């Protein structure tokens, strides 16, 4: 099958062979546009009976309605939907880190994204293993809607690989980035052609969707998040103030980025992601 949105054969032959052999296609779904477009494309190549949609809930930290948006798309397609929950939250992780090591940066960084591994990847992999075992799937293709256009780092991501860590004697696990080649316009086009709506945050001007305040987000999304979620914003600003470290990878405090200040929170003495000099 040739997908006009791809320059090369899509899906790769190996994917087609594994689907024919009964592999489970797992569609990771944040509620964002890339996940949504990816699921639309996956439904073109896989029987629904071989699909699972999984959402890592970030609790209060994620945009309201993200879980429901992902669930609605799955339900509309007649697909099973599973929510993966971590036993901790991002702000809880930051508090715990600060309590145990106040001398080192308390927040996750682009280089050390414990938030992704502990709050998303780990819980998702646990739920996928459980689902595959319960339903007798021995091959898993775990799909993520990451795109090359998003960053130089993502452009270098390996689009197809066997995941040796999650592969066992009785289970083969592959990781696939099905829409790595999509540009932004193609994502929106796929959703429009499918007759689907985006999560409302895009209508409010957001570029991306996941945690309301992401360590990697652009200033537009952070400001939008602060305007629409003032109570959560205040908790982030207060925790920046308490830890003395900035949340964002730019090493600027949230009020500096958004221009929205919280009464009683001074930005004086704010440290950055960098370790303090000895």
Does 262 sit near ligand SF4 (CB under 6 A)?
A: no
Q: Which residues pair with 116 in a beta bridge?
A: none
Binder of ligand SF4 out of 116, 219, 220, 267 (CB under 6 A):
116
> Minimum Å distance from CB 185 to ligand SF4?
23
Query: Of 67 and 115, which CB lies nearer to ligand SF4 in the complex structure?
Result: 115
Least separation in angstroms between residue 228's CB and ligand SF4 is 16
**Residue 87 near residue 55 (C-beta atoms within 8 A):** no
Interaction residues for ligand SF4, span 198-237 (CB under 6 A) = 210-211, 214-216
- Given the rule CB under 6 A, which of 9-17, 79-87, 107-115, 219-227 is the region that contacts ligand SF4? 107-115
Q: Closer to ligand SF4 by CB, 61 or 198: give it.
A: 61
Told to check if 257 binds ligand SF4 by CB under 6 A, we report: no
Q: How far is the CB of 206 from ligand SF4 (least distance, A)?
A: 12
- For ligand SF4, the closer of residues 143 and 216 by Cβ is 216
Toward ligand SF4, which CB reaches closer, 30 or 50? 30
Nearest partner of 39 among 143, 126, 160, 140, judged by Cα? 143
Please choose, from the candidates 134, 137, 139, 136, the residue with its C-alpha nearest in 3D space to the C-alpha of residue 176: 139
Return the H-helix or E-strand segment holding 176: strand 172-176
Please count the CA atoms within 13 angstroms of the CA of 43 that sit on its side-chain side: 18
118 or 238: CB nearest ligand SF4? 118
List of residues 6+ apart from 264 with CB closer than 8 A:
none
Long-range pairs of 170-173 with CB within 8 A, sequence gap ≥ 24 = 170/138, 171/129, 171/132, 171/138, 171/139, 171/140, 172/138, 172/139, 172/140, 173/139, 173/140, 173/142
Size of the residue set binding ligand SF4 (CB under 6 A): 11
The distance of closest approach from Cβ of residue 128 to ligand SF4 in the complex, given in angstroms and rounded to an integer, is 18
Among residues 15, 37, 115, 187, which is the contact residue for ligand SF4, using CB under 6 A? Answer: 115
Task: Give the ranges where the chain is alpha helix by DSSP (H).
Answer: 13-20, 33-42, 66-76, 90-100, 114-116, 122-135, 152-155, 184-193, 200-203, 219-228, 230-243, 254-258
Which residue, 191 or 222, is less far from ligand SF4 as judged by CB? 222
- Rounded to whole angstroms, the Cα distance separating 132 from 266 reads 50
Contact positions toward ligand SF4, by CB under 6 A? 108, 113, 115-116, 119-120, 210-211, 214-216
């Amino acid at each position: 099958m040739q997908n006009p949105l791809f320059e090369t054969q899509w899906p790769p032959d190996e994917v087609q062979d594994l689907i024919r052999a009964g592999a489970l296609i797992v569609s990771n779904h944040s509620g964002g546009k890339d996940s949504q477009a990816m699921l639309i494309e996956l439904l073109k190549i896989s029987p629904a009976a071989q699909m699972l949609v999984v959402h890592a809930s970030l609790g209060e930290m994620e945009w309201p309605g993200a879980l429901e948006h992902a669930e609605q798309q799955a339900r509309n397609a007649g697909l099973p939907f599973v929510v993966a929950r971590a036993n901790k939250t991002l702000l809880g992780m930051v508090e715990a880190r600060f309590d145990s090591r106040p001398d080192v940066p308390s927040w996750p960084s682009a280089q050390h994204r414990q938030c992704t591994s502990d709050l998303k990847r780990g819980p998702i992999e646990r739920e996928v293993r459980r689902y595959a075992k319960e339903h007798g799937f021995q091959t898993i293709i775990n799909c993520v809607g990451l795109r090359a256009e998003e960053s130089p780092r993502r452009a270098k991501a390996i689009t197809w690989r066997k995941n040796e860590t999650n592969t066992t004697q009785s289970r083969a696990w592959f990781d696939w980035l099905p829409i790595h080649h999509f540009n932004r316009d193609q994502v929106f086009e796929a959703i429009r052609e499918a007759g689907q709506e985006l999560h409302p945050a895009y209508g409010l001007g957001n570029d991306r969707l996941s945690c309301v305040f992401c360590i990697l987000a652009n200033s537009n999304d952070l400001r939008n998040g602060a305007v629409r979620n003032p109570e959560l914003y205040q908790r982030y600003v207060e925790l920046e103030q308490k830890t003395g470290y900035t949340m964002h990878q730019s090493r600027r405090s949230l009020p500096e980025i958004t221009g929205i200040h919280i009464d009683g929170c001074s930005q004086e003495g704010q440290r950055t992601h960098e370790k303090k000099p000895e």
